[in-house]
Structure 1
């Protein structure tokens, strides 16, 4: 019998296990692939600020970044390479957005970059000091070393007499942290869209002084002698796809590893020349997002029961969150997207404090916000 059963052992689930275990709770983790066996293990795990004029979204990202960077450096410094990031203007982040924002940065001209390294191409950009790359699998294993892990492909969740059961595993509380995996309960207001991502770890004799980001990301040289090149490749918003396995085993991706890798390496070479390049390993993973791009945490609202009890919600009646119907002792942390390792510890701590001490959850990331929005469209 466990206090908490967490389904999903990526950044979100592993971070939840860590913070609950620190509160002397007994934890069981379940995942069909293993610790960081899915999208989190395939992540580039770049931790970077989000430039632009201050708004609720980039404020959330940058608050999470500050917290998580400090957290990882204390948790496992050998898995963190914090050397900053050079952001190069592109269609999403033009010169004005990169230079005129609430985050302190330094403009680096092409001449200055060539002084730093002769391997930089004819680019310029803005350097942000507060950025890093982490080793995702090492981080997740460290987060969960005090928890019990079960490798299972969970299809059903049973609840009886206040206890959740999966096979022989029993728990008083359940946390859904499955990313793009199928939810075990009906949550119609949480519509997950997978975003396919690709990461290639390489060896090179080139010394890359800091992370570089344009439409793709190139990391600095890491502790293990490799550097990572990563990108978000393809959205699935309009596709009827149910993720039943990891991306490297999915028939949806028809392009060969060679083609995908060649494209990514070509984009990297447009930023910096990587000499004596050797591809070490290729990773694929689908990151979970929702339409608003905000992550999602909190108690799981029972959609049908809440609307049956308060049908006027559909017409805009404001029913306080505490009066809604919820699945008993069930929580969710999901839709962390391509910022899984930025959000993971920050959101997990907020949710753990909410569960154990009833500390409030910011409205922007709450399950209730999505519930009300979906109900009024119903």
Structure 2
């Protein structure tokens, strides 16, 4: 498991931090709910959350951002989530941002929550998402509560100075200043001042003089008030309530393409309150997203930090996302997955990846004997075992996302041109001009994006891939996990196994080829000695599609800027030197990994769209991560803007 979990001692049933020499919450024989009551008194009451949430607009989407220093047992989050569900209107969305250097394990979290049975419902919702956590930014979505939890696992001294958001309330928690002086430093108060808006409130259990002086020096109005229980005083206050600008309107967004990238983009925008219109030239998931099975796992190489970090973040995020969609068993199956180190090259990769990433708890290295026991068939090489690896039905996933009430689907509408008029975007299809106009457009139509955006500078490569479904055979019926070597093979489901897929760069033909079926059979025959005779198995179904890739195997995600490939003497050292985004965004080129990476990229992109529209929600990634995925990164390279292309620094992320 991840090696940054909190080291706890349980003293009289309470979690005690050995690192900070303090208890996470206190209990009293005279007041069994002491810890929860203190949370409600300090953080909920003194940020006036009940009154403020009751006054949120009922008919229009709104967002409320809480930033907490010290997630700990999650008690503050649970109390806020419970109150949010009771008091906030349905159209409102809660963003809870928390920083924690050493998170609880899931088992410790559940044990701590057992003290508060009245929080059982919200605890269960959190614990269902609280898995596969990694150092850095972890995004946990609770759509049933209209809530997003952005959990930063890291040192507050690094996390807080990099925050880019506007908070509505601050929960200054964490251990007492005497126990945890590293957090109660000037960078905390500077971050609060930078990330607060007019009327932002704060509350904290401490009344330490240097904390009060730091808040005052940063510009906050501060007052002492009665603490909870035996604590005589606490601090609360607000950022000065100067005249507030009118809140920005939620953007109306068009998404072009109803594959996994487009549907994911639409879903996350809709979940944040946007009205979204999806335009698809054919039918839902008719392109590369239309296969009956797609594998969900990260293929890591331990050599390209950005590629690996995208895969790792996407894996944990996407597993939670597909689980949130409530897909039926035939559409989402977490049966575990083994990556085989069968060739010398793959054997070396398996060991390198395990050495670098196994401590994250997402996978572990197993030998051939262990792998055979997990798989149910004979394997002869060391493997990487992903216990939560899964297969997904992409069509079912896309269909489920498009059911969101804020999404309007327009099929048989091929968009050919985009034009800007009166600060809004007009779409022209092959048959008619779309009557609706939009604040923003996300182009997610794979290789067709090149013709729709001819001046973008994107290089898009079509890659043909054919997968096949085969009827089960006796040697296949004991298979318990997905096997991945040169391709993949899934366990038995409804009498069939999925296998694939061929890989043919530059080939756009999507007709099924019998030779590709044989190629897939040959591929799986190499996965296990038991499969050697699988050459004449009946294949009742096969499907070929054209995936869209990029030269560096990373997707193109982000705003399209008004720059060209032509050389220029313009000096560009930071993004503020470039033209501002005008509302066109790109989400393409996931190659064969779209099922894994598209939901995570879509969630990032949705927040970027709202931020550009004047709604600064918490972001899900660092600025240099964005740069590495920018749709015009090729232009940046050709024009010599090296300072925009700093390599992704994953120090501490692995």
TM-score interval, smaller chain: 0.7 to 0.9
Contact 1:6 1:29 in 2 (8 A): yes
Question: 1:294 maps to what in 2?
Answer: 554
Question: 1:108 maps to what in 2?
Answer: 367
- Does residue 319 of structure 2 align to residue 69 of structure 1? yes
Of 562, 571, 589, which aligns to 1:335? 589
C-alpha change, 1:232 and 1:171, in structure 2 (3 Å) is farther
Counterpart of 1:220 in 2: which secondary structure? coil
C-alpha change, 1:374 and 1:44, in structure 2 (3 Å) is farther
Contact 1:49 1:130 in 2 (8 A): no
C-alpha change, 1:369 and 1:209, in structure 2 (3 Å) is same
Q: Where does the alignment leave 5 or more consecutive residues of structure 2 unmatched?
A: 1-250, 359-363, 642-654
Question: 1:268 maps to what in 2?
Answer: 524
Counterpart of 2:583 in 1: which secondary structure? strand
TM-score (norm: length of structure 2): 0.50
Counterpart of 1:27 in 2: which secondary structure? strand
Contact 1:81 1:132 in 2 (8 A): yes
Q: Deviations over 1:278-334 (max 9, x none)?
A: 423211111111111111111112223x969xx214xxx324323323662111111
Counterpart of 2:335 in 1: which secondary structure? coil
Q: Deviations over 1:164-189 (max 9, x none)?
A: 22323423221100111243122442
Of 200, 222, 237, which aligns to 2:468? 200
Cα distance in 2 between the residues matched to 1:94 and 1:371:
34
Computing the radius of gyration from Cα coordinates, the structure with the larger value is 2
Question: 1:28 maps to what in 2?
Answer: 277
Cα distance in 2 between the residues matched to 1:4 and 1:99:
45
What RMSD over aligned residues (CA atoms) do the two structures have, in Å?
2.8
Displacement of 1:124: 5.2
Contact 1:201 1:228 in 2 (8 A): yes
Contact 2:510 2:546 in 1 (8 A): no
- Does residue 481 of structure 2 align to residue 210 of structure 1? yes
Moved more, 350-359 or 211-220: 350-359
Of 323, 347, 350, which aligns to 1:98? 350
- Does residue 340 of structure 2 align to residue 85 of structure 1? no
Cα distance in 1 between the residues matched to 2:408 and 2:577:
35
Q: Deviations over 1:50-72 (max 9, x none)?
A: 33336221121111111101111
Displacement of 1:145: 1.3
Contact 2:557 2:587 in 1 (8 A): yes
Contact 2:262 2:444 in 1 (8 A): yes
Question: 1:252 maps to what in 2?
Answer: none
Matches within 5 A, 1:171-210: 171-172=437-438, 173-181=440-448, 182-205=450-473, 206-210=477-481
Counterpart of 2:540 in 1: which secondary structure? strand
Matches within 5 A, 1:2-151: 3-42=252-291, 44-53=293-302, 55-78=305-328, 79-89=331-341, 93-101=345-353, 102-104=356-358, 105-109=364-368, 111-112=369-370, 119-120=377-378, 125-146=383-404, 147-150=407-410, 151=412
Cα distance in 2 between the residues matched to 1:121 and 1:341:
27
Q: Where does the alignment leave 5 or more consecutive residues of structure 1 unmatched?
A: 250-255
TM-score (norm: length of structure 1): 0.84
Question: 1:228 maps to what in 2?
Answer: 498
Contact 1:289 1:295 in 2 (8 A): yes
Moved more, 322-331 or 192-201: 322-331
Contact 1:192 1:335 in 2 (8 A): yes
Moved more, 81-90 or 111-120: 111-120
Displacement of 1:28: 1.2
Displacement of 1:234: 0.7
C-alpha change, 1:121 and 1:52, in structure 2 (3 Å) is closer
Counterpart of 2:639 in 1: which secondary structure? helix
Displacement of 1:128: 2.5
Contact 1:198 1:284 in 2 (8 A): yes
Moved more, 272-281 or 4-13: 272-281
